[in-house]
């Protein structure tokens, strides 16, 4: 995907896109153009909207991460989507590629995370200490190709850098993620972590949405394309989430 994003779902209240790795969702000190900027331009051009476009991200992905990002197009949509995320009623699946094999086929990770605001690095602790927040996720090995493992990650909480630091803490840093222990960066500064699937009940229409963001079009991800169709069909979210 060479474009900044592809649209996955769009209506009067929501815009959900597949983000290219390397894009900020919202602005920072770099002043680089953001995914929010690109999406506002898309809405303004498509609907011929004069003036400022109302469009707010409901959550974020780290800059080097690809995949699904939800935007609210109305204040009503923003308020209700924020409530769904707060109540953990948005069910998320990520895919990650690691060089090291997790010792267990599937498992649950629980840590307490602290963040250094000066370095923007998160540390995972085995026990709760002052200033930490609890982080939980489950993981499953999906398969192995060319000495790398594809993992499916289901975060229970939504902490900053959670998946990255928790996988690193069990000895399986994500490919390209030098901040959390992988030995070398990817050429494009991406990491092999992808927000693959979301399931939630539309906050206005009250219909259940099963949304998937296609894997990035790059030579390394391409070897895992064969897993997409199989895993989308039998993903546990499709079978167990009843709304």
Provide the 10 A C-beta neighbour count for residue 35.
22
pLDDT in tens, 43-68: 999 998 888 899 999 999 999 999 99
> At residue 241, does pLDDT exceed 50?
no
Q: In the annotation, is 62 catalytic?
A: yes
Which CATH class name applies to 5-240? alpha beta
Q: Where are the domains of the chain?
A: 5-240
pLDDT in tens, 155-183: 999 999 999 999 999 999 999 999 999 99
> At residue 31, does pLDDT exceed 70?
yes
Q: Please tell me whether residue 178 adopts helix, strand or coil conformation.
A: helix
pLDDT the model gives residue 133: 97
List all residues 6 or more positions away from 217 whose beta carbon is below 8 Å from its beta carbon. Answer: 1, 2
Of 183, 155, 187, 166, the C-alpha closest to 99 is 183
> At residue 195, does pLDDT exceed 50?
yes
Confidence of residue 231 (pLDDT cuts 50, 70, 90): low
Q: Indicate which residue of 32, 62, 147, 177 is catalytic.
A: 62
pLDDT in tens, 115-153: 999 999 999 999 999 999 999 999 999 988 888 999 999
The span from the CA of 220 to the CA of 149, in Å, is: 12
């Amino acid at each position: 995907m060479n474009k900044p994003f592809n649209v996955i779902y769009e209506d009067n209240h929501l815009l959900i896109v597949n983000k290219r790795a390397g894009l900020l969702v919202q602005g920072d000190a770099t002043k680089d153009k953001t995914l929010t900027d690109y999406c506002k331009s898309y809405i303004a051009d498509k609907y011929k909207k004069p003036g400022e476009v109302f469009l707010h991200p409901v959550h974020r992905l780290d800059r080097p991460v690809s995949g699904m990002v939800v935007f609210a197009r109305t204040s009503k949509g923003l308020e209700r989507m924020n409530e769904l995320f707060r109540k953990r009623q948005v069910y998320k699946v990520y895919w990650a590629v690691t060089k090291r094999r997790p010792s267990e086929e599937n498992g649950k990770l629980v840590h307490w995370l602290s963040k250094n605001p000066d370095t923007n690095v998160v540390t995972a602790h085995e026990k709760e200490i002052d200033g930490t927040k609890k982080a939980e996720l489950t993981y499953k090995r999906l398969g192995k190709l060319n000495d790398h493992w594809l993992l499916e990650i289901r975060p229970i909480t939504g902490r900053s850098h959670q998946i990255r630091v928790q996988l690193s803490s069990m000895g399986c840093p994500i490919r390209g993620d030098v901040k959390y222990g992988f030995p070398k960066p990817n050429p494009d500064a991406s990491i092999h972590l992808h927000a693959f699937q979301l399931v939630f009940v539309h906050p206005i229409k009250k219909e259940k949405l099963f949304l998937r963001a296609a894997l990035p079009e790059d030579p390394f991800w391409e070897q895992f394309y064969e897993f997409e169709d199989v895993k989308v069909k039998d993903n546990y979210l499709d079978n167990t989430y009843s709304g």
